[in-house]
Amino acid sequence: MPTAAYAGAAPAEGGERRPRPVAARRADPLRSGVVWIVIVGVLLAGVVALNVAVLQLNVRLDRLRTERANLRDQNAALASQFSSAKASPRIQARARQRLGLVPATEMTYVDLRKP
């Protein structure tokens, strides 16, 4: 290999040194590394924010489910009370009609303690 192939290694013909070729500038690894760290940090912050939002929605949904179950229970209890209240006069009317029962006009109490 001729020594002139190496930049600045040997003097060229005529006794002059050749200037070294300037290497192409690479991107500063510190800057590109910082940029990637910032990008990854922003993405991670977005994932955390999304998880917090989903968690809040799940808590709200759980509260609404509990409230809905309570309202259904109350509705069932009210329907049962309504059904009982509605059926009582009908039963009394049928009992009067079929069995000839008459409502009491006077009440008396029996004392069971007396021998």
CB 95 within 8 A of CB 101: yes
Please check whether residue 35 is in contact with residue 42, taking contact to mean a CB–CB distance below 8 angstroms.
no
> How does residue 82 score in pLDDT terms, banded at 50, 70 and 90?
confident
Predicted confidence (pLDDT) at residue 42 exceeds the cutoff of 80? yes
Domain chopping of the chain, boundaries? 47-82
More confident: 113 or 92: 113
CA-to-CA separations, 64 to 1, 58, 59, in angstroms, rounded: 83, 10, 9
Would you state the pLDDT for residue 35? 85
- With bands split at pLDDT 50, 70 and 90, how would you rate the model's confidence at 15? low
